[in-house]
Amino acid sequence: MKRTQIELADGRELIYFDERDDAVRDQPDRRDLPPPPPASQLRYDPLTDEWVAVAVHRQTRTFLPPADQCPLCPSRGDRHSEIPAPDYDVVVFENRFPSLSQRPAEEPAEITPFTPVRPGLGRCEVVCFTDDHNASFARLSPLRVRTVLDALADRTAALSELPGVEQVFPFENRGVEIGVTLHHPHGQIYAYPFLTPRTRSLLAAARRHAERTGGNLYADVLAAERAAGDRVVASNEHWTAYVPAAARWPFEVHVAPHRPVPDIPALDDAERDAFGPLYLDLLRRFDGLFDLPMPYIAAWHQAPVRVDRELGHLHLQLFSVRRAKDKLKYLAGSESGMGVFINDIAPERAAQLLRAG
């Protein structure tokens, strides 16, 4: 894989990850762009012990443009996009409308004595999986999935070195039902300056288990699911994809390496090669459930950058809001108001349907 880093017209970084060693990426960004916005604002909620990002500049971000105006397609002719080259394999660049960034910002004033406020220092990046606007992750080749995984490993390692970053979160949103604003196949990476609520909850449970048993909680749960088998959807020598016994979403699958590793950079070559075929098969099963493109979120859970890394176990959480061909799962009163999920499909049934796909 060849890695080429350039600077866009407004100073943001862009990195090409090419599968050909002879790829030449010297095309300049010919756009006239305003400077990137300053960092957003983080406000602390003392009632929940959580941080909320206030990023007002994101109101102006690009929203569902027509294909001929897609900012993630390559630049061709007189049409200049976020990617200056006329073609590419995988590209990662700083988000033009970031929720978090390293750009200077004024120290915000105190709101109340109970609500600390600070600049939203971190980083948000966009990951383009292919230059084909009409493709999908499920239609990528195993080689391209390996390139994407290597790019995520590169970015996880680099973002983990940024001052103040505590957690790196790669993810993909797919489908308007999920809330995507660009149809081009792409994902994102958030580098947070704090541990997210989900991660703190996972770590607390893992810590209690380690203190009680000396074991790694996720590894022990994975071993139990593999032994039970009725919720396993697919597996190979290095990975298992299974529906969690307490799945929150109608169709939810965890894809986990058998060897406990903290993050994507820790995967070895064999594990990286084995991921693509299994994951592509799983995505095609999702699309085959109702014979239409399945909306989903694919979320990589990695260990924190600086603390409790021994408690983490890298895994990918894949889930969809679609519960039937003509029905979606909405986060209504119980889920949104209280955080208590109510699943309409038994996890064992979901696994059975996915295995049959």
Which residues of the chain are under the pLDDT cut of 70? none
Report the C-alpha gap between 303 and 6 in whole angstroms.
29
CB-based contacts of 271: which residues, under 8 Å, 6+ apart? Answer: 238, 239, 257, 259, 261
- For residue 1, the model assigns a pLDDT of 93
Q: DSSP code of 210?
A: H
Q: Which of 80, 186, 254, 301 is catalytic?
A: 186
Report the C-alpha gap between 213 and 196 in whole angstroms.
26
Whether residue 122 contacts residue 102, with contact meaning beta carbons closer than 8 Å, is answered with: yes
CB-based contacts of 161: which residues, under 8 Å, 6+ apart? Answer: none
Known binding positions for Zn(2+): 70, 73, 133, 184
- For residue 60, the model assigns a pLDDT of 81
Measured torsion, CA atoms of residues 211, 213, 216, 217, in degrees rounded to the nearest 10: -90
Report the C-alpha gap between 251 and 272 in whole angstroms.
25
Place of tokens 């606007």: 133
CB-based contacts of 142: which residues, under 8 Å, 6+ apart? Answer: 273, 276, 277, 280
- Please give, one letter per residue, the 3-state secondary structure of 79-91: ECCCECCCCCCEE
Side-chain half-sphere exposure of 283, counting CA atoms within 13 A:
22
**pLDDT tens-digit map of 139-161:** 999 999 999 999 999 999 999 99
Angle (CA) 104-107-110 rounded to 5° is: 155
Known binding positions: 70, 73, 133, 184
**pLDDT tens-digit map of 272-331:** 999 999 999 999 999 999 999 999 999 999 999 999 999 999 999 999 999 999 999 999
- For residue 61, the model assigns a pLDDT of 83
Report the C-alpha gap between 344 and 341 in whole angstroms.
10
Angle (CA) 129-135-137 rounded to 5° is: 50
For residue 180, how many other CB atoms are within 10 A of its CB? 15
Which domains are seen in the chain, by residue range? 2-194 (3.30.428.10), 198-356 (3.30.428.10)
pTM score, whole prediction = 0.97
Told to judge if 186 belongs to the known catalytic residues of this protein, a careful annotator would answer yes
